[in-house]
Amino acid sequence: MAAPVPLTQSKAVPSRTATAKSPSRRAQKRQVKKAQRRSVARRRTIGLLVILMLVGGIAFAVSKTYEKGYRELALPLRHDDIIRQQAKAKDLDPALIAAVIYQESRFRPRESSAGALGLMQLLPDTAHFIAGKTGGSAFTTEDLATPQINIQYGAWYLRYLMNEFDNHEVTALAAYNAGIGTVQGWLAKSGESAITDPDDIPYPETREYVKNVLKAHDQYRVEYAKELGR
């Protein structure tokens, strides 16, 4: 009788399904590292976005400050409340008053070589003439150093000139610079009732003065629409 053949123990074959569901330690480590890298990348991205937002905010604030500072230097505006008040009282465009002040003094009160004073550069004789017309019996030349009085008298004189020349702005501005008698002489010689084109002004200085005021008038209308209204 043949001896029985001993049974060999078969090795268990690992289940593929079990292997897929239970990854090895190495695979688990790789997954953990990937997750960590993704987390770091997210934090870096968020940090970069925060930095960009901060830089953008600072740049915006700086640009606004620069823009305002540049405007103050290139096209300053002071006493806008007085300008609005006097423009309304004299039926003038507040931007026109601002433009005259800009051309006359750049909003820095001073005395000219001809003796004109204050923001709107009024001659003492002209100011006393205005005081007589407006009941300013207590007026003194020193009062022209006061912005309220200077702008009030300057605006009155602008309106006076506009009335004198039938609301022709170019003619009135020429008279503000060269004098009413001088402009009346030009008109008498030319046979015209008004000057409508600055290039027709005989005096080069007055011609440039009027052109500069008209240019500043447009700029103040645009740049300071909110402050000056109209």
Of the CA atoms within 13 Å of residue 229, those in its CB half-sphere come to 11
| Rg, C-alpha atoms of the chain | 40
> What is the share, in percent, of the chain residues with pLDDT greater than 70?
81
For residues 195 and 174, give the distance between their C-alpha atoms in angstroms, rounded to a whole number: 9
- Do 99 and 217 meet the contact criterion of CB atoms below 8 Å apart? yes
Global confidence as pTM: 0.71
Residue 131: partners with Cβ closer than 8 Å, 6 or more residues away: 137, 139, 153
Report, as residue numbers or ranges, the catalytic residues. Answer: 104
- Local confidence band at 49 (pLDDT 50, 70, 90 cut-offs): confident
pLDDT tens, position by position, 153-168: 999 999 999 999 999 9
Across 110-121, average pLDDT: 95
pLDDT tens, position by position, 168-197: 999 999 999 999 999 999 999 999 999 999
pLDDT value at position 35?
75
Secondary structure string (H, E, C) spanning 118-171: CCCCECHHHHHHHHHHHCCCCCCHHHHHCHHHHHHHHHHHHHHHHHHCCCCHHH
